Amino acid sequence: EAGIPILGTSPDMIDLAEDRDRFKRLLDKLGLKQPKNGIAYSVEQARIIAGELGLPFVVRPSYVLGGRAMAIIRDEVMFEDYLLGTLPSLIPSEVKAKYPNDKTGQINTVLGKNPLLFDRYLSDAIEVDVDCLSDGRDVFVAGIMEHIEEAGIHSGDSACSLPPRSLSADIIAELERQTRAMALALDVGGLMNVQYAIKDGVIYVLEVNPRASRTVPFVAKVIGQPIAKIAARVMAGETLGSFDLKPASLGHVGVKEAVFPFARFPGVDVLLGPEMRSTGEVIGLDRSFDVAFAKSQLGAGSKVPVKGTVFVSVRDEDKPRIVPAVRILADLGFRILATGGTLKLLQEAGIDAARINKVLEGRPHCVDAIKNGEIQLIFNTTEGPQALADSRSLRRAALLHKVPYYTTLAGAIAAAEGIKAYCRGDLEVRSLQSYFERAA
């Protein structure tokens, strides 16, 4: 408004990407998919859309950083708490002064300016981050990162792998195509980050950030290109073509892991969700995923146990898929403890395991075992408000006693593979440059 030149992506295009309604219309125009969704500008609209989508669903406000006020809504109580609790905290002070006692008025006011997007929650989807450079004419896809945790956990909190560890060549090519289409449609000048979810082979666009993302330093180190510096020069007027960037052919794998401050905050729950909670990140780098993952855990300050006892308790849909990870640990000599349903499945799969009580089943239970130093590793996945509440004491005990704790199936599988590599003695310390010398 003051007439000051803005370098890089224009403010209007930034607004287009940040405004949930405008962005939805852009994706429709480009023929790209989003999860089934709806836009709400009022509490009344929010309730109607929630009813149409059904539970669970994800709420994404416009113009927020770090996933602020995003939430996965799993039941009606959570939804009402969200509408009457979370939204007023986003309202500017001048609006609060105008509506000192009227929560509904506050909510309608903030929604009137900033629409809410309601997404159908894609359970068991793979989330992917893509960072690219663009000058409005050419696009260079710098990195495609496959999250280790499933979709629904904020990208800043999720561990991820570059290059992707399980995506097919066709899916990778389509991710690159969709990223280019959006970068050119937004006339991006500099960096852009896109978050996708992949479920049953279908790619869904979650959101676009027409700016540098927290993943940029990670991507730059893994591919060996100063992409932030290149982005700044593109924003200042240089063409992307003048840098002669080529897709990296990597002989190594980078794993990004988040660092959390949970131990500094008494009473906090360590369960991850759409709001970002990490305060830093580390890189594990090696020639294979399993070794790189083990390095990332060590770098983040987590223990990588090589012996001891593993406690396993997973939700029903994860039970068949947790078996290979538990078998790896059993073969390494770990003792296996499991709760009733999980134990039955492990025994049917031929894995020697013993039973331990859940907290609600009476003492001695799993939290007692953690406090007594009898458990060195935990695999625990839960679903539903009651199950999450019931397992809170377990997560808290693991945090206080520094026991590695994996709350997703993918994280548990990666941990088992990393521990196997660590036990083999595969971890070597090398300089970052040595990986690129080898490639050259």
pLDDT at 368: 92
Cα 305 to Cα 273: distance, rounded to the nearest angstrom: 26
Residue 196 is predicted with a pLDDT of: 95
Q: CA-to-CA distance for 7 and 58, rounded, in angstroms?
A: 33
pLDDT of residue 109: 42
Q: Give me the residue spans of the domains in the chain.
A: 36-120, 126-243, 302-424
354 — alpha (psi -120 to 50), left (phi > 0) or beta? beta
Out of 3.40.50.1380, 3.30.497.10, 3.30.40.230, 3.90.640.10, which CATH number does the structure's domain 302-424 have?
3.40.50.1380
Task: Name residues of the chain where pLDDT drops below 50.
Answer: 87-92, 95, 99, 102-112
- The predicted pLDDT at position 148 comes to 86
- List residues bridging with 253 in a β-sheet: 286
pLDDT at 71: 79
Same fold, 36-120 and 126-243: no
**Structure confidence at residue 67 (pLDDT):** 59
Residue 107: its pLDDT value, please?
47
HEC per residue, 51-97: HHHCCCEEEEECCCCCCCCCEEECCHHHHHHHHHHHHHHHCCHHHHH
Say what the pLDDT of residue 389 is.
Answer: 65
Structure-token pair, residue 12: 């209007």
- What's 126-243's CATH class? alpha beta
Q: Residue 373 class from Cβ within 10 Å (0-12 exposed, 13-18 middle, 19+ buried)?
A: exposed
Q: What is the CATH number of domain 36-120?
A: 3.30.1490.20
pLDDT for 273:
66
Three-class DSSP labels, the chain: CCCCCCCCCCHHHHHHHHCHHHHHHHHHHHCCCCCCEEEECCHHHHHHHHHHHCCCEEEEECCCCCCCCCEEECCHHHHHHHHHHHHHHHCCHHHHHHCCCCHHHHHHHHHHHCCEEEEECCCCCEEEEEEEEECCCCEEEEEEEEEEEECCCCCCCCCEEECCCCCCHHHHHHHHHHHHHHHHHCCCCEEEEEEEEEECCEEEEEEEECCCCCCHHHHHHHHCCCHHHHHHHHHCCCCHHHHCCCCCCCCCEEEEEEECCHHHCCCCCCCCCCCCCCCEEEEEEECCHHHHHHHHHHHCCCCCCCCCEEEEECCHHHHHHHHHHHHHHHHCCCEEEECHHHHHHHHHCCCCCEECECHHHCCCEHHHHHHCCCCCEEEECCCCHHHHHHCHHHHHHHHHCCCCEECCHHHHHHHHHHHHHHHHCCCCCCCHHHHHHHHC
